[in-house]
Amino acid sequence: MDNKSQFLKNLNIEAILGGQDDEAKIDRHLPMRKWLYSWLLDPHIPGNFQKDIDKWISYLIIANLFSLMFEHVPAVFEPNKHWFEFFDIFSVAVFTIEYALRLYLAPEDEEFKNRKSARFGFITSPFAIIDFLAVAPFYLKAFIPIDLRVLRFLRLLRILKLFRVVVPAIQEFKELNKDRTFRQKVHALVYPSPYGGTMQNIFEVFIAVWVLLSVLAVVLESVQSIQYILNLQFVVLDALAVAIFTVEYCMRIYSCVEEPGFKGAISGRIKQAKTPSTVIDFLAVLPFFLEVFLHHLFDLRFLRVFRLARLLKLTRGSDATATLFKVVVREWPVMSASAFIMLLLVILTASLGYLFEHDAQPDKFENIPTSIYWAVITLASVGYGDISPITPIGRTLTIILALLGIGIFAIPAALLASAFSDELVKERDALKANLFSILKDGKIDDEEAALIRSEAKRLHLTNEEINALIDQVIKEHELEERSPLPVHKIAESPALAVEHFKTLLGQIRQLGIHTDTAKFEATAQAGALSEKEMALWQSIQNRS
């Protein structure tokens, strides 16, 4: 077996993909404290619970922030006071357990293990002080009378616990962007790149959370009873969201010249500003500024509903949206033909409906535009029932339309579903071709491994699915190794031609050893071989 075949046989795709599905390999015979630290807090062991603990603690901190905000709303707080108290007790219990656990396991932490007193070093560390301040107000009020406003302010310090997640990401970001310009650092933060690291992921999650919060606020603001109670909170939240989205928009425009295809201080930024995702970013903040600066000239309250366009900001990180766009562009000729047929059918049936029903129902089939509504509802098989024919010929027409609509209106949906599935198959085939090209030389460098990881993430492929593709590539590689090159390809290389000739000579000699010589020569002399071919055979067999 050659080196390339051995490499393909021993390929570890889990290692290439970062061991995303690996279970932590921790010796169960470790001392109890070391074992607990390895499972719960060690950031260097993939597959343990350290990232999950940090994630859920972060969620709890954010939930505490919202709890504090709603405690200032009497209409929300007073009827649910016991639930707020229960949530506060639960939060304090979780934070206390976390603090006690970190204190107990401090001697195993690399930051404190070499100090004279590891636990004292932990207690005096900035993160431990923040953790202590997160729970101290709850216990202080049991012994010391504390004004409620002061207590709420002290509880607000829990938000500082997020620094446990953010600070390491900032340090990693600084290391990745060492000796790079300020604009390049901004680019690394807002655009996916090898220099972004965890900080870029945190930035994307931060923006996504604010998008969801602002959209949720717009939805709840439409409920009069909720809007009356939380009017001030909605105003503050919208102002904060606009400020965040505006800063993000400026950062993208400022740093876009670092992106390939957007070079040029002015032309590059104009080109970026015209891209669909950046236009969406602009529309996300435009209603706020129009209402602020033009409210004295026009009543622009209707623009508030356009804040829901912020939801489209989430499509930036969605590969499904890009795939759907490709599908629509590719299938547009067929879909446009289908849409044209539907349009003709709608106008025709609306005209017939008006002709047959106008005299019987002049208030409902008042004109053809009104009948178009009935035609679309009927063809789409929705059938609200607010407009329905009463004449026999009108009802007959409705039956025909309903049956036609099942097929006509289903065509675009079927086209999209089939084309979307085909596009996914094409993308997987493209990944398979990339894998074949990558594995052909019998090695995988860092850039190729990064490509495999990014494609696996984009196509939402698991390790098992990537392994299945790898198996297909290996089988194709084996078939390629077994199948001989065409003669014209061999002839292109004299050295290869000589080796091929020697191989053929060896095969002819083996043939002479294993075949019945008498029968072979009898068949050959009967006309199967010419005299020159027979002489060559005997010469090769050393019988001439």
Residue 226 lies in a domain: yes
Say what the pLDDT of residue 544 is: 47
Angstrom distance (rounded) from CA 298 to CA 513: 102
Final residue of a structural domain among 372, 390, 408: 408
Whether 216 and 283 share a structural domain: yes
Residues 241 and 274 in one domain: yes
Helix (H) and strand (E) counts in the chain: 26, 0
Residue-number span of the structural domain to which 528 is assigned: 488-540
Decide if 240 is inside a domain.
Answer: yes
Helix (H/G/I), strand (E/B), else coil: 497: helix
* DSSP per-residue string spanning 205-257: HHHHHHHHHHHHHHHHHTSHHHHHHSHHHHHHHHHHHHHHHHHHHHHHHHHGG
- Is there a single domain that holds both residue 156 and residue 186? no
Q: How far apart are CA 223 and CA 75, in angstroms?
A: 15
Average pLDDT, 10 consecutive residues per value, the chain (544 residues): 56 58 73 89 83 86 84 82 88 90 90 86 87 81 63 68 82 90 92 86 88 86 82 86 92 91 88 87 83 68 68 70 74 80 85 84 83 82 76 84 76 77 73 68 68 69 70 64 63 77 77 78 79 80 60
The residue from 317, 349, 383 where one domain ends is: 317
CB within 8 Å of 19: residues ≥ 6 apart: 46, 47
Q: Report how far apart the first and last C-alpha atoms of the chain are (Å, whole number).
A: 39
Number of alpha carbons in the 13 Å side-chain half-sphere of residue 414: 8
The answer to the question of residue 220 being in a domain is yes
Task: Compute the distance between CA of residue 420 and CA of residue 427 in angstroms, rounded to an integer.
Answer: 11
For residue 202, the SS3 value is helix
Tell me: do 89 and 161 sit in the same domain: yes
Q: How far apart are CA 322 and CA 317, in angstroms?
A: 9
Q: What is the CATH number of the domain that holds 373?
A: 1.10.287.70
Q: Are residues 108 and 53 in the same domain?
A: yes
Return the number of other C-beta atoms located less than 10 Å from residue 264's C-beta.
11
Rounded Cα–Cα distance for residues 256 and 254 (Å): 6
Within this chain, do residues 326 and 363 fall inside the same structural domain, yes or no?
yes
- CA nearest neighbour of 66 among 182, 279, 213: 213
pLDDT at 1: 47
Q: Which residue has the tokens 């499972």?
A: 39
CATH assignment of the domain containing 272: 1.20.120.350
Domain boundary among 388, 408, 428: 408
364 in Cβ contact with 390 (< 8 Å): no
Residues 194 and 266 in one domain: yes
> Which residues have CB under 8 Å from 159's CB, separation 6+?
61, 64, 65
Assess if residue 415 is contained within a domain.
Answer: no
For residue 128, which of 103, 104, 108 has the smallest C-alpha distance? 103
- Residue 238 in any domain: the answer is yes
Q: Is 478 inside any structural domain? A: no
Angle between helices 163-176 and 126-143 (to 10 degrees): 170
Number of domains in the chain: 4
Q: What is the pLDDT of residue 195?
A: 87
Q: Distances from the Cα of 452 to the Cαs of 31, 263, 268, 269, in angstroms? A: 39, 28, 30, 31
User: In this predicted structure, what is the pLDDT of residue 303?
Assistant: 65
Instruction: Kindly state whether residues 106 and 156 are assigned to the same domain.
Output: yes
Residue 139: what pLDDT? 80
Calpha distance 488→495 (Å, rounded): 14
- What's the Cα-to-Cα distance from 394 to each of 353, 358, 383, 386, rounded to whole Å? 6, 10, 15, 15
If asked whether residues 507 and 387 sit together in one domain, one would say no
Distance CA 243, CA 513 (A): 88
Let me know whether 47 and 118 are in one domain: yes
Q: Is residue 125 domain-shared with residue 200, that is, in the same domain?
A: no
DSSP symbol at 191: S
Is 171 within a domain?
no
* 33, part of any domain: no
Instruction: Identify whether residues 156 and 183 lie together within a single domain.
Output: no
